[in-house]
Amino acid sequence: MIQMKKLFGVLFVAGLVAASAVANSEDDIKARLAPVGSTCMSGEACAAAPAPVAAAGPKSGKEVYSSFCTTCHSAGVMGAPKSGNSADWAPRIGKGIETLYTHAIGGFNAMPPRGMCAACSDDEIKGAVDYMVENSK
């Protein structure tokens, strides 16, 4: 009987210790329930944060290719000539660089105009074409 009381007492104390470790302060609970993000409306102090800096100049052909063209031209999606594959590019290069520029800017077959880079200038698109052609000869 005494051993049973001791066992009960030990278990009771262990339970209290465990419960106190699990118990959270009000601040802990508020922190867990706080929103993940916040919004900032025009006119509020937080709205005065500086805007991210835009790129200083035009993107290189490699940058345009890496950001937009690689999606289709690295895998040959929907018949796109694979970058680096001279067999895919030879017939296209044979039509002339101006034709490649026209197709890249205006779209051709399954390729959308500008390869989905609506913010790219004509020169940036031409740079991407030049980059792919140079790497596919």
Q: What is the pLDDT of residues 55-88, one digit of tens each?
A: 678 999 999 999 999 999 999 999 999 999 999 9
> Following CA atoms 112, 115, 120, 126 in sequence, which dihedral angle do they give, to the nearest 10 degrees?
-110
For the record, the structure tokens of 74 come out as: 């690295």
- State the pLDDT confidence band at 122, using cuts at 50, 70 and 90: very high
Domain locations in the chain? Answer: 69-74+81-134
Tell me which CATH homologous superfamily contains domain 69-74+81-134: Cytochrome c-like domain (1.10.760.10)
In terms of phi and psi (left: phi > 0; alpha: psi -120 to 50; beta: otherwise), the region of 76 is left
- State the pLDDT confidence band at 94, using cuts at 50, 70 and 90: very high
- What percentage of residues in the chain have a pLDDT greater than 90? 55
